[in-house]
Amino acid sequence: MSNQQVYNDYFFYEPAFNTHDGGYVPLEVSDVAPQKLRVPELLKPDRETDTDMYYTVIAQAGETNILPGKPTKTWGYNQSLLGKTILFKRGKNIHVTVKNELPELTTYHWHGLSVSGDIDGGCHTPVYPGESKVLNFKCDQPAATLWLHAHPCPSTAEQVWHGLATAVVVKDEHEAILPLPRNYGVDDIPVILQDRRFHEDNQWDYHADYDPDGVQGPTAMINGTINPYFDVTTQKLRLRLLDGANRREWRLHFSDDLKFTQIAGDGSLLTHPVQFTHLMLTCAERAEIVVDFSGYKPGDDVILYSDDVPIMHFRIHEFEKDDSKLPDTLFTMDTPAVTKNTPVHHIVMSGMDEEVAIDDKKFNMERIDAKQEMGSCEIWEVTNTNDCEGGMVHPYHMHGCFFEVLDRDGKKPYPNETGLKDTIGINPNETVRLKVWFDHPGIFMYHCHIIEHEDGGMMAQIQVDDPKHPQKFHLMDMDTLMNAFAKERGVAVEDLHLGGMSCYDKMNMKM
């Protein structure tokens, strides 16, 4: 790797960091004894052939021993909290049976997966308690770290807060030949970054903690572990970082300002490896990094911080020398050319608290806000109009597609935005230009990924049509979902309380 430049800053506008938010909840050092990091198991396929993979993914309620004392009531996929890591292989036909064993409806959103709208798992595809659904699709996208999470607006934030989030790893033949750590659980580790507040008897209370600008807690929770440590037994470690928090930005750095190399972002490897000492992730972003511990000896302790708070310890053990070198080029961008005579999509993200909106509108399940033909590549200009003095970084996410970041206010993207992405943090008063294309038809959401913002209406939807195979898409209506939630919770609709509802109520708007 010939490029030796090391980046030492977080790039984003410091006045817009969440530390300046009036509702900011700073992380606190936990007084819990160090615990070994929970590394999620790989979900075992029900069956695998040369061409097909079969899985069963179960959303379930349970209890998890997170802190000493009483277990915390949690939700997860195939386990009580978060989930087992799901592995897809490029080129294979995937068959996933999703089962809902929760007491209320949910959806299964495959964040970053290139699939049709009926598979994507947005709010139009509920799976009700006791029901199951079979999803069939072909995995045809580059190696990347994606994730699965619930998306039943306006209760997406609460269900993710309950624990419905897990890593999804896509493998391909190109990534397999690169000199990268890939021994899962040993030198290739998913790191799901979240935060929680623990109430009486170690329980979570989403409604007590509710903030329309995003729910936060003072305790860092990494893979469901508080005050975790990881035993380092190899010189190089690949960390698949996922900001799985509802609101929190993670500004990451190691003790000694140990440098590390980012090799991948949301939807692919980066075109070239980039070296950092400091890295900021906004909500839902992913970054794969390789950390080289060659400068340390057995018994040393290397600490990962978010801002100035230690969130994870790496305990160094004996390891063999590793002289492998990363190539200068990891991935070749082969994105389509912009289709001639297509409109530029102008998207405006505005507001904070209950007043959040896209294009001065709150989300309406029965309204189509944009259209684009499958196979057409178009420019999307996304602006965050928040004032920089009182504004915030809004992480913008699009379902069902990848995008290429063209520029930020006419300037080059950040150096680690060279691969395929599906989520990007946009600074106050900034416009980011994206090149966007869809490979599958359907209804897809685009929204801020501060999850309370999307529940509160900072979301819109696009209809993607296949001109060769026209079809009608079914749009759920909010009344149907609200009636179902009310019935499942045993309350009258007028007594139903879901997080995003207050944002509409305050604006005197119907969901």
Q: For residue range 305-314, list pLDDT tens digits in order.
A: 999 999 999 9
Range of the domain at 249: 6-26+179-316
Q: Report the SS3 class of residue 434.
A: strand
- CA distance linking residue 432 with residue 411, whole number of Å: 9
- For 504, phi then psi, to 5°, come to -75, -40
The pLDDT tens digits for 2-24 are 557 999 999 999 999 999 988 99
Which residues on adjacent β-strands are paired with residue 459?
A: 447
Q: Does 451 reside within a domain?
A: no
Do 226 and 291 share a domain, yes or no?
A: yes
- Does 511 fall in a domain? no
Q: 333-388: per-residue pLDDT in tens?
A: 999 999 999 999 999 999 999 999 999 999 999 999 999 999 999 999 999 999 87
Q: How far apart are CA 484 and CA 398, in angstroms?
A: 27
Number of domains in the chain: 2
pLDDT tens column, 497-507: 888 888 888 88
Residue 387, pLDDT score: 83
Angle at 132 between CA 130 and CA 137, to 5 degrees: 165
Q: Is residue 97 located within the same domain as residue 206?
A: no
The pLDDT of residue 96: 98
Q: Quick check: is 394 in a domain?
A: no
Which residues are paired to 324 by β-bridges? none
Tell me, yes or no, whether 160 and 237 share the same domain: no
Same domain for 14 and 88, yes or no, is no
Instruction: Please tell me whether residues 167 and 46 are part of one structural domain.
Output: yes
Same domain, 155 and 198: no
d(CA 466, CA 450): 31
pLDDT in tens, 373-389: 999 999 999 999 998 77
- Angstrom distance (rounded) from CA 315 to CA 300: 6
Give me 39's structure tokens.
């590394």
Strands 377-384 and 345-350: parallel
Average pLDDT value for residue range 282-288: 98
Q: What is the mean pLDDT of the chain?
A: 96
- Looking at the chain, the whole-number percentage of residues with pLDDT higher than 90 is 93
pLDDT at 494: 86
H or E segment to which residue 391 belongs: none
Q: pLDDT > 70: what percent of the chain?
A: 99
Indicate whether 14 and 68 sit together in one domain. no
pTM of the predicted model as reported, rounded to 2 decimal places: 0.97
Instruction: Tell whether 72 is covered by a domain.
Output: yes
Question: Who contacts 123 (Cβ-Cβ below 8 Å, separation ≥6)?
Answer: 107, 151, 152, 153, 156, 365, 445, 476, 481
End-to-end CA distance of the chain: 52
Count how many Cα atoms sit within 13 Å of the Cα of residue 109 in the half-sphere of its side chain: 26
**In angstroms, rounded to a whole number, what is the distance separating the alpha carbons of residues 114 and 96?**
15
Residue 2: what pLDDT?
52
Domain boundary residue among 316, 334, 365?
316
212 and 146 inside one domain: no
**Reduced to 3 states, what is the DSSP secondary structure of residue 374?**
coil
CATH number at residue 49: 2.60.40.420
**Domain assignment of residue 15, yes or no:** yes
Tell me, yes or no, whether 187 and 63 share the same domain.
no
End residue of a domain, out of 316, 341, 374: 316
Buried b (16+ CB within 10 A) or exposed e, 430-463: bbbbbbbbbbbbbbbbbbbbbbbbbbbbbbbbbb
Domain match, 150 and 213 both: no
Q: Which two tokens stand for residue 347?
A: 């998207």
pLDDT digit string (tens) for 112-160? 999 999 999 999 999 999 999 999 999 999 999 999 999 998 999 999 9
How many Å apart are CA 15 and CA 202, to the nearest integer?
34
Asked whether residue 496 is assigned to any structural domain, the reply reads no
Beta bridge partners of 6: 275
Residue 468 within any structural domain of the chain: no
Instruction: Find the helix or strand (DSSP H, E) in which 23 lies.
Output: none
Residues 128 and 194 in one domain: no
Residue 185 lies in a domain: yes
Domain boundary among 316, 347, 369: 316
Residues with Cβ within 8 Å of 468's Cβ and at least 6 positions away in sequence, in order, are: none
> What does the pLDDT look like over 198-232, one tens digit per residue?
999 999 999 999 999 999 999 999 999 999 999 99
The whole-number average pLDDT for the span 397-416 is: 97
Residue 403 confidence (pLDDT) above 70: yes
Cβ atoms of residues 65 and 251 within 8 Å: no
pLDDT at 88 over 60: yes
Residue 476 C-alpha from the chain's centroid: 24
Q: What is the dihedral of CA 454, 224, 188, 43, to 10 degrees?
A: -80
As given in the structure block, the two tokens for residue 435 are 């090149």
Are 14 and 135 members of one domain? no
